[in-house]
Amino acid sequence: MKRFVILLALIGALATGPGSARAVREAMTAEASASAALLERAELVSDLIVRARADKDVAMMIVASNMLKQGDFVLVPAENAPLVIGRARAGEELPVTEPSALLREAAGWAEGDPDKLAAIEAAQAEASRGIIPAAIVYTHDLPADRALTMRARAEGGRLALVRVRGDGDAALELAVTDAQGRVACSDRPESAGASTARRDLSCRWTPNRTEEYRITLRNRGRVWTRAILVSN
């Protein structure tokens, strides 16, 4: 199974006046380093959940639940969910994957084993929803030759960065368009075909005003892939 990871990260407000180029570069470098570390953590937790479900491995699901509970992000299925740029707004409902829900799922695999049930009970005592962290990780299974499209509101005057990381086997195309359908940014292989697949794609743009944008990722490969989208 091919797998790619998508990182969609919004950089905070940055000065764009004369003499600010160095500050912008430094901020972008710092943000890229932080988002790369987040990407690795999110990918590990997501992979653990997938493997635990495939093997009905109670211990592995407990580990994934603990990592998710202690992490600085939450998991959200991308289907029909808004892409949140920045922090979630007050009252915004997101179908968050709760650590406690993962533990309840694992309990169904225990088959009455007292040791496994005791471990799940101990983990459940600590699992709680808490406050949604700054980073929201979206999960999605993207079929071959299909596209994932999400809508997001980007704030005017704030530099936005979209990063896509693939597994290197699928030719991916990334595009960001505004409400009028104008392309704000795009990145794609120079020609079609797996031989031109690139592991990383990125888009940067600064909206002139606050408005809705459409972020589209197309899988030009021949197999479906599991995608992880991260916005901060």
Least confident segment among 24-38, 197-211, 213-227: 24-38
Of these ranges, 29-38, 60-69, 201-210, the one predicted with the greatest mean pLDDT is 60-69
Nearest to 81 by CA among 181, 148, 157, 6: 148
For the chain, what percent of residues have pLDDT higher than 70?
Answer: 69
**Can you read off the two tokens belonging to residue 150?**
């999400």
* Dist. CA 56–CA 64, nearest whole Å: 13
- 181 φψ region: left (φ > 0), alpha (ψ -120 to 50), beta (else): left
DSSP 173: E
pLDDT at 84 over 60: yes
- Which CATH code fits 2-231? 2.60.120.380
pLDDT at 200 over 60: yes
Cα distances from 39 to residues 17, 44, 67, 94, 137, in angstroms, run 31, 9, 14, 20, 9
**32 HSE (CA, 13 A, CB side):** 15
How many residues belong to the chain? 232
Find the mean pLDDT for residues 181-189. 89
